[in-house]
Amino acid sequence: MSTPLALTRFGTLALVAALPAAGAFGEALLSSGDFIIAIDHSLNPSSSYPGGEPPSAAIDGDDFSKYLNFGGSGSGFIVTPGSSVIQSMLLVTGNDAPGRDPLSFELYGTNDAITSTDNSLGNLENWQLISSGGLAPPAGRNTAYPTVDFANAMSFSSYQLIFPTLSGGPTETLMQISEVQFFTGLGGAGSAVLNFNDPIIAIDTITTLSPAAESAANLLDGDTSTKWLSFGQDGSGVIVTPSGGPSTVVAMQLATANDFDVRDPTSFEIYGTNDAITSSENSEGNNENWVLIDSGSISLPTDRETLGDVILIDNDTAYTSYKIVFPTIVDNSGVFPADSLQISELQLFDEVPIPEPGSLALLGLGGLALLRRRR
């Protein structure tokens, strides 16, 4: 039986061994080691760009125009110059904010007709990886990177260039580049391949939905100083399978993570299934037959690494696994939207966790909050 979580006097979660029997608080169903995977219920790419800074600006031969993508890390473009064998690449930084500069690249080629659309995932074609690696952005603005060479003897008609990481790190919400050019020889020798009239579209691949150190498993570790972060933003969620077997979840509690409150979820949908889980990590999580149990709003505290109120779940059916999706976050609009969704802890209960008299003193004012009914 798992021990409920409460806030310590320093505001972080800890296991509270001195509390009354767990039954008085409701059965805490989730524990470290339970099966949990991250999903993106919508897998909506976040690629978009201002009208004056389209992907075509990256191949217009002008170092003082630029391509800017609000998708941030993982964004890039697909360009179709026609059949060519490329062996090197040159990039030029944009005019401002060096945190937006690409810090790594993945270059793919295809001879398929391009059916991916502008601002999509860019995954409708069969792509072959040509090269990938780190980049060394110069400090200067509108300045060329060192030329990147790659061993390649294959001819492709279209290329996909993705920038998985940016100089500003995972919190940077914008990617920018003023020029990209491919060459038929090493070191920028041979012929330049890209022209201003080549068909080009923006994409956002969402190549990594969570950083390696901020996986969904952190939601079950009882520590609010760790967190789950999803670059999938709104529509992200998790599938969890409590190790104790079928359970009837009637309450849920979340804790905020360490930084930007614009990343906090503001609504939820909870689903149940008794199917074996075959959905994979970072998929849409739809391989199973899911029943919508309940949905509603979430109002998390502005304080960081802090438990939110207990959320009541209208449910009288037992399920072996649950899918919790967060359709909205605090701020995913405007010119600088939140770049991700994050929470530090998740707990499900099969009884409403109401502390016994006297327990509130042990829990502290920031502990398990008095229940706030959503209806």
Does 69 fall in a domain?
Answer: yes
Does 89 fall in a domain?
Answer: yes
User: Partners of 341 in the beta sheet?
Assistant: 230
Please say whether the beta carbons of 181 and 83 come within 8 A: no
Give residue 80's pLDDT: 96
177 shares its domain with 225: no
* Residue 320: domain span: 5-43+209-363
Give residue 280's pLDDT: 86
Q: How far apart are alpha carbons 78 and 158 in whole angstroms?
A: 7
Fill in the DSSP letter of residue 247: B
Which helix (H) or strand (E) is 161 found in, with range?
strand 158-162
Does 371 fall in a domain?
Answer: no
185 shares its domain with 324: no
Last residue of a domain, one of 147, 172, 204: 204
Is this prediction's pTM over 0.95?
no
Give residue 169's pLDDT: 83
214 shares its domain with 358: yes
Last residue of a domain, one of 160, 188, 204: 204
| Distance set, CA 343 to CA 132, 141, 300, 353 (Å) | 31, 36, 10, 20
Does 48 fall in a domain?
Answer: no
89 shares its domain with 31: no
Nearest to 37 by CA among 234, 299, 286, 255: 286
Does 374 fall in a domain?
Answer: no
Question: How do 158-162 and 128-134 pair as beta strands?
Answer: unpaired
Q: How far apart are alpha carbons 315 and 308 in whole angstroms?
A: 20
Q: Please calculate the CA angle 351-355-357 and round it to the nearest 5 degrees.
A: 140
Tell me if residue 99 falls in helix, strand or coil: helix
CA 6 to chain centre: 27
- In the chain, alpha helices (H): 359-363
Does 370 fall in a domain?
Answer: no
349 shares its domain with 250: yes
Q: How far apart are alpha carbons 348 and 216 in whole angstroms?
A: 15
Which helix (H) or strand (E) is 251 found in, with range?
strand 251-255
128 shares its domain with 78: yes
Nearest to 366 by CA among 304, 312, 311: 304
Give residue 12's pLDDT: 35
Last residue of a domain, one of 204, 224, 250: 204
Q: Which residues have CB under 8 Å from 335's CB, separation 6+?
A: none
Give residue 355's pLDDT: 56
162 shares its domain with 88: yes
Query: In order along the chain (375 residues), what is the average pLDDT of each group of 10 residues?
Result: 32 32 57 82 76 95 95 91 96 97 95 93 90 95 97 95 89 92 96 95 77 91 94 87 95 94 94 94 88 96 95 96 93 60 95 59 32 31
| Distance set, CA 79 to CA 134, 146, 193 (Å) | 21, 22, 11
Domain total in the chain:
2
Does 177 fall in a domain?
Answer: yes
39 shares its domain with 105: no
81 shares its domain with 155: yes
Give residue 74's pLDDT: 87
Q: How far apart are alpha carbons 43 and 63 in whole angstroms?
A: 33
194 shares its domain with 289: no
Give residue 370's pLDDT: 32
3-state helix, strand, coil in the chain (%, to 5): 5, 30, 60
Does 375 fall in a domain?
Answer: no
Sheet containing 251-255: order of strands: 311-312, 251-255, 345-349
The CATH number given to whatever domain includes residue 144 is 2.60.120.260
Please say whether the beta carbons of 249 and 316 come within 8 A: no
162 shares its domain with 191: yes
32 shares its domain with 132: no
